[in-house]
Structure 1
Amino acid sequence: MIVGLFIPCYVDQFYPQVAIATLELLEKLGCTVVYPPNQTCCGQPMANSGFEHLTGDCTKLFIKNFNEFDYIVSPSGSCVLHIKEHSHENAGLHDRIYELVEFLTDILKIDHLEASFPYRVGLHQSCHGQRGLHLAQMTELMAPPFSKPAKLLNMVKKIQLIDLDRKDECCGFGGTFCVAEEAVSVKMGKDRVADHAKHGAEVITGSDMSCLMHLEGILRRQKSPVTVKHIAEILNSSIES
């Protein structure tokens, strides 16, 4: 299986270890992974700021880079959702692009991982992934619960996945929301951090590094020992206690 690897610009610039972990994990699971070197921003920041009509060139470049692949995989639910639902004339790519977690569960259908991570971990379910890509059930619905990220994390040896009081509450990042409404965004982030800390999390994980970046900034300012790791890093981990 040949997979085109789409790495969001902020991951490329600030969290390259997430891109590396995604690549290594997919290769461990039998995929042949190709990284188109000319890829750039998908256009989501412009669209979120009200300039979706200016994202056409981003879409054209994305199609040029990824149109040849049967599957396109990215460690970012928000960028994937943008391509699926807000990127016009995307040459049918919305049926071929997957966030990493949904690709592992829905396409590869993995039921075993050779990973070990001996820490207490809190799972942050980002809004784009949960409500846009349906990676987990929303608690406000009277429907059976499920969580694709939790299903994968529970395959990791020695991990302790903690329960949270408000497991699907927004962290407050929201792309440009954290710039336009800084005070509200920070307060929401502090509430999420407090929920994880209350239940003894050593690590906060999730499938959107943008949300984790927001929480990481708050943790650092609080001088908290809690760290953040993208779910790809944990699923690719071989840490033994």
Structure 2
Amino acid sequence: MNVELFIPCFIDQLYPETAFNTIKLLKKAGCNVVYNPKQTCCGQPAYNAGFWNEAKQIGLKFLTDFSEDCYIVSPSASCTGMVKNGYDDLFTNSTEHNRCRNIQSNIYELSDFLVNVLKKDYFGAELVGTAVYHDSCSGLRECNIRDEPRQLLAHVGGLEVLPMRDQDVCCGFGGTFAVKFEGISAAMAEQKVQNALAVKADYIISTDSSCLLQLQAYIDRQQLPIKTKHIADVLTSGWANI
């Protein structure tokens, strides 16, 4: 199966290892991974800031960078949610309407694709410790992902996933929200991390690196004994070098 890989600018610039682990994971699942180096951003930052004309220009590039007849997989529920939902505002009843709809129907967040399309949930990963799973707002509310990441994590050797209070509450990042409302954002991150520490978790795992950046910043500032990990990095833990 050919799969086109969409690596968001956020991961490209700050978490390249997560991108490479996504490729390893898809290959182990039996996919032929195709990466278009011309790809850039999905347009979400401009869209969320209210600059829809600029977001549409970026979105048009996205629609030309990816094909209509191939699965598109991304290790980001946030960016996947933007294409699946935000593009309705940008391209409905436009000349790109049909192409947009085809691409929207083909794009999947990584865990959603592995579980619901490939029907695979075991990849031989091993990570000893306890963890909580953070439901990102985009994953839960835009991509309707809840059980898929937990199903995948349940098959990671040595890892115990614990329930956490308010695990589906926002971490406080929200893109520009973290800049415009720094105090509220920091308090939300503190609450999320403290809830994880309350159950003695070693890791906070999520589908979104943006959430993890927010939480790791608080962890580092307070020098707390807990780490954040993207689910792609967890699912490739314990592998021999590929």
Equivalent residue letter for 1:42 = C
Pairing 1:74-85 to 2, within 5 Å after superposition: 74-85=74-85
More helix by share: 2
The RMSD of aligned alpha carbons is 1.4
Matched, 1:116 2:126: yes
Q: 2:139 aligns with which of 110, 129, 142?
A: 129
Contact 1:216 1:227 in 2 (8 A): yes
Matched, 1:174 2:184: no
Q: Give the aligned partner of residue 221 of structure 1.
A: 221
In structure 1, stretches of 5+ residues that fail to align are 137-146
Contact 1:121 1:203 in 2 (8 A): yes
Q: TM-score, normalised by structure 1?
A: 0.92
Pair 1:239–1:30, CA change in 2 (3 A):
closer
Equivalent residue letter for 1:71 = Y
C-alpha deviation, 1:113, in angstroms = 2.3
Q: Give the aligned partner of residue 185 of structure 1.
A: 185
Contact 2:68 2:106 in 1 (8 A): no
Equivalent residue letter for 1:96 = N
Paired with 1:239 and 1:64, the residues of 2 have a C-alpha distance of 35
Paired with 2:66 and 2:55, the residues of 1 have a C-alpha distance of 17
Paired with 1:69 and 1:118, the residues of 2 have a C-alpha distance of 40
Paired with 1:68 and 1:166, the residues of 2 have a C-alpha distance of 38
Contact 1:116 1:157 in 2 (8 A): yes
Q: Give the aligned partner of residue 141 of structure 1.
A: none
Q: TM-score, normalised by structure 2?
A: 0.92
Equivalent residue letter for 1:54 = E
Pair 1:125–1:179, CA change in 2 (3 A):
same
Q: 1:95 aligns with which of 105, 109, 122?
A: 105
Contact 2:171 2:192 in 1 (8 A): yes
Pair 1:17–1:63, CA change in 2 (3 A):
same
The list of structure 1 runs, each at least 4 consecutive aligned residues, that deviate by more than 6 angstroms after superposition, is none
Paired with 1:227 and 1:69, the residues of 2 have a C-alpha distance of 39
Q: Give the aligned partner of residue 33 of structure 1.
A: 33
Contact 1:203 1:227 in 2 (8 A): yes
Contact 1:63 1:91 in 2 (8 A): no
Q: Give the aligned partner of residue 150 of structure 1.
A: 150
C-alpha deviation, 1:112, in angstroms = 2.4
Paired with 2:13 and 2:31, the residues of 1 have a C-alpha distance of 25
Pair 1:91–1:167, CA change in 2 (3 A):
closer
Q: Give the aligned partner of residue 105 of structure 1.
A: 115
Equivalent residue letter for 1:229 = K
Paired with 1:205 and 1:233, the residues of 2 have a C-alpha distance of 9
Equivalent residue letter for 2:102 = G
Paired with 1:2 and 1:76, the residues of 2 have a C-alpha distance of 19
Pairing 1:58-77 to 2, within 5 Å after superposition: 58-67=58-67, 69-77=69-77
